[in-house]
């Protein structure tokens, strides 16, 4: 069962923003929702906030299903998914910042690898696109790609289910398998555009501890701040302290 919040006027927008959150996530999601609506109205984009009561899989998979359903409808040229812990901070029209020949537009983050090296004080760093902020062009190729992601049912119980399935289809497998399996498809990558990190700027999970050695993917002057991986209370504290950064 779903509740929806949609744009209240008939629009000729070529882009639709989608997000979603459940009751458990409402104290974070309601703040993200406000920035999404402001951003959407500023550029006259359509939007839809899915407030889910029950879903067939882990709630993280909702984005994959929502993207597939909207691609099938063929109503919009672009689908722009924003996680419910992501917040618009600037009014930058994403359609003016992309290569329109590409099919998927996403930020590629550095990840401190789970794999250990044989050298002291040395870590592996790998690349990993984060699906919390993703712009998808409505093409047959995009639909086929996301259906492949949806069909990766071996990740249903993975701690990072939707993103792990996404990485698997691309071929970025270092963090879900062995380092030697990290062989992204050149054909698939040719359809991707990796956006500047300001479109998915992620503070450290322990942002209140500057001495923490966690790798940071935070970018100065962000367009979107994404509180990925944080504990819920830390997300709420961040929102209270830094909401002045969000669009007004």
Residue appearing with tokens 């789970």: 114
What is the bridge-based pairing of β-strands 15-22 and 78-82? parallel
Q: Nearest CA to 4 among 39, 49, 41, 42?
A: 49
Structural domain of 40:
2-245
Question: In total, how many domains does the chain have?
Answer: 1
The 10s digit of each residue's pLDDT in 146-159 is 999 999 999 999 99
Residue appearing with tokens 């794999």: 115
Q: Within 10 Å of residue 66's Cβ, how many Cβ atoms?
A: 20
Q: For the residues 231-246, what does the mean pLDDT come to?
A: 96
* Residue 211 reports pLDDT greater than 80: no
CA separation (Å) from 230 to 32, 207, 234, 245? 15, 9, 6, 18
CB 135 within 8 A of CB 102: no
* Residue 9 reports pLDDT greater than 60: no
Cα separation, 112 vs 57, in Å, equals 28
Q: What confidence score (pLDDT) does residue 8 get? A: 54
Q: What confidence score (pLDDT) does residue 3 get? A: 61
Tell me the three-class secondary structure of 154-177, residue by residue.
HHCCCCCHHHHHHHHHHCCCCCCC
Cβ density class 31-45: b for 16+ within 10 Å, e for less:
bbbebbbebbeeeeb
Q: Read off φ and ψ for residue 3, nearest 5 degrees.
A: -110, 145
CATH assignment of the domain containing 23? 3.90.550.10
């Amino acid at each position: 069962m779903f509740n929806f919040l949609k744009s209240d006027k008939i629009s000729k927008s070529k882009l639709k923003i989608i997000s979603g959150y459940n009751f458990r996530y409402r104290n974070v999601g309601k703040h993200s929702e406000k920035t999404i609506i402001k951003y959407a109205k500023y550029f006259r984009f359509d939007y839809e906030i899915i407030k889910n009561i029950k879903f067939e899989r882990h709630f993280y998979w909702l984005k994959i299903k929502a993207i597939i359903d909207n691609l099938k409808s063929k109503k919009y040229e672009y689908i722009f998914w924003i996680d419910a812990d992501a917040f618009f901070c600037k009014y930058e029209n994403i359609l003016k910042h992309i290569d329109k020949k590409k099919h998927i537009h996403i930020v590629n983050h550095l990840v401190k690898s789970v794999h250990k090296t044989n050298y002291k004080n040395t870590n592996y760093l790998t690349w990993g696109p984060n699906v919390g902020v993703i712009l998808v062009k409505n093409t047959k190729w995009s639909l086929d790609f996301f259906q492949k992601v949806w069909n990766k049912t071996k990740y249903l119980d993975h701690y990072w289910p939707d993103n792990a399935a996404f990485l698997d289809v691309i071929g970025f497998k270092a963090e879900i398998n062995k380092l030697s399996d990290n062989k992204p498809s050149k054909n698939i990558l040719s359809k991707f555009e990796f956006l500047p990190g300001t479109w998915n700027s992620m503070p450290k999970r322990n942002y209140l501890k500057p001495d923490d050695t966690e790798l940071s993917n935070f970018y100065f002057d962000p367009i979107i701040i994404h509180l990925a991986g944080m504990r819920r209370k830390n997300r709420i504290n961040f929102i209270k302290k830094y909401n002045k950064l969000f669009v007004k």
